Amino acid sequence: MAKELILGAFEVMAPTFLANSWRHPRARPEGYATLEAWQGLARQLDAGGFDFLFFAEALAYPMTPEGTVPEVVVREAVQFPVHDAPLVISGLAATVDRLGFVVTSSTTAERPYLLARRFSTLDHLTAGRIGWNIVTSDMQQALVKLLGDDEVTPHDARYARADEFVSLCLDLWERAWDDDAQPMDKGSGVFNDPGKVRWTSHHGDHFDLEGYFPIAPSPQRTPTLFQAGASRTGRDFAGRYAECIFTQERTVEKASALVQDLRSIAVSHGRRPDAVKVVNGLSVIVGDTEEEAAALRQELTDAPSREAMAALFMGWSGIDLTSFDPATTLEEIHTEVGQSLLAQYKDPTRTVGQVLDGLRETMGGFKVTGTPQSVAAQIERIAAETDVDGFLVEFTFGGTASYGDFIDRVMPLLREKGLLPAEPRRGTLREMLTGSGSAALPADHPGAHAVVA
C-alpha cells in the first residue's frame, strides 16, 4: 500500500530563490513584499491540500570571504532583497484555518529566550500550526559583518551552540508552566498560580538565563521541529531533535541512503525510526506535452547568469568558485559554512568549471518535468524507491504561478494513486505531519522531559 505523502511549499520572502525566476513572463515578483500576495498563496495552498508553507528565512546575502558583496547580488536580486518572514505568519494564519507554517530561524544569530518567546506566541496565534526549521546559518560571512561577530563560527562549534540553544528552548516550552497554571479565577483573584509557574535557571557554555518564561503553554507547547543540515554533525543533531528533516538530494540512490541513515541515527538516540519524517526538495514543471514541459524547464534553467549562480553558491557554501582555477576540482576544499552543500559537488571527475556551468541544473532537489501523468508517475517512483515521507515543492516562477499546475493537474492523480489523503489533513502541525493524534511532543523525544544538557 502506498504511503500518503506530506506536502509543503518551499518559499523565501524575496523576489526569487534560485536566482532564476523573476525575469520569466509567468513571474510576478513585485508582490514579494506585500501581505496580500502571501495571503493569495496561502489560500491557494490551503484549498489545494498542501500541509504547510515553508519559509527558508535568510538573514543575509552572499558575500565573499574578504567581506565584499558581488555587484550581481544586488543587480540580479540574488537573495537580495530578502524580508523578515516570521512577521508575515500571523497575517497568513488569520487568512486560512488549516494550512501549517514553518519558519527558518538560526541558532547562530538568535538568542534562546527571544526565539522561544516568538514561537510560543506564533503557536498561540496559529492555533498550533507553527514549526521551527532549525539551522546554524548560511551566509556566515555577511552575518559576521552585520551582527558584529569577530569571525565565522566553525561548523561543529555552531552545532554545539545549537544543541544547548534547542535544549534551553525545550526547557522553557515544556517545563516552565504546568498545564493548569492559569485558573483565571476572578473570585480568588488568581490569574496565574505561582506554584505552577517555574523559574528557569540555566548556566551553560553559550547561554545564561535566570527567570520566568512569560508565555503560557501554547497548543503544541513546542513548535514542530524541522532541521535542514545534512553534514555528519547535522544528521546527528537531526536524529536527536528533529521531527521533520528537509533534504535536498537529487538521485534516488543518495536519497534512499540518507533516509535510512537518518532513521538509524534517530534510533541511536532512543527514538523510533518513524519519529523523523524526511521531506526532500522537488521542483515540478508541467506541460500539455513532454516537449512543452521540457522547453519550459529549459527556460527556467537558462534564466540566471553563471555569475549569479556562483554568488548564490558562495552564500550557501562559503566557497567562491570564481576564485579557483576552472580546471581544478573541489576535492581538497574545506568550508566552515555549508559543508553538506559542498559535499554534493566534491567529485574527482568534475572540475570547478563544470560545477559552475552546471549549477543552474543541479542546485535544489529532484526535478520532475513532463505531462501531468508523467510527473505523477515520476513522483510515485521517487517516493517508492527512496521511502521519503514527502516533498517540499520548490519555488519556480514565484507566487501562485509556482503551484497552480501542480495543484490542479498533478495532485488529483496522486490522490488516485493513494499518495495523498482523500481529504486534506487537519489539526496542529505536529498532528498533521506525524499522524500521532496528539499536539504534544512524543514520549521518546528528548524535549518531552526537557532535560537541559
Residue numbers in the known binding site for FMN are: 104, 155, 159, 231
Are 38 and 89 in contact, with CB atoms under 8 Å apart?
no
How many of the other CB atoms lie within 10 Å of CB of 249?
22
CA 241 vs CA 115, 133, 222, 373, 399: distances in Å:
16, 11, 11, 37, 32
C-alpha span between 179 and 198 (Å, rounded) = 12
CA 288 vs CA 387, 412, 450: distances in Å:
29, 16, 52
Amino acid, res. 49: G
DSSP three-state, residue 209: strand
- The C-alpha cell at 304 is 540566471
Known binding site: residues? Answer: 104, 155, 159, 231
C-alpha span between 391 and 6 (Å, rounded) = 6
Are 131 and 244 in contact, with CB atoms under 8 Å apart?
yes
Specify the residue for cell string 520566568.
Answer: 212
- The C-alpha cell at 433 is 505531519
Are 259 and 248 in contact, with CB atoms under 8 Å apart?
no
Are 135 and 106 in contact, with CB atoms under 8 Å apart?
yes
Amino acid, res. 76: E
CA 107 vs CA 102, 111, 318, 407: distances in Å:
16, 7, 18, 34
How many of the other CB atoms lie within 10 Å of CB of 150?
6
- The C-alpha cell at 62 is 552572499
- The C-alpha cell at 428 is 496542529
- Phi, psi (rounded to 5 degrees) for 284: -120, 130
Cα dihedral sign for 443, 444, 447, 452?
A: positive
CB neighbour class for 187 (10 Å; exposed up to 12, middle 13-18, buried from 19): exposed
User: What is the DSSP code (8-state) at residue 410?
Assistant: I
- The C-alpha cell at 214 is 512569560
Closest to 432 measured CA to CA, from 284, 229, 259, 279 = 279
Question: How would you classify residue 128: left for phi > 0, otherwise alpha for psi between -120 and 50, otherwise beta?
Answer: left
Beta bridge partner(s), residue 307:
none
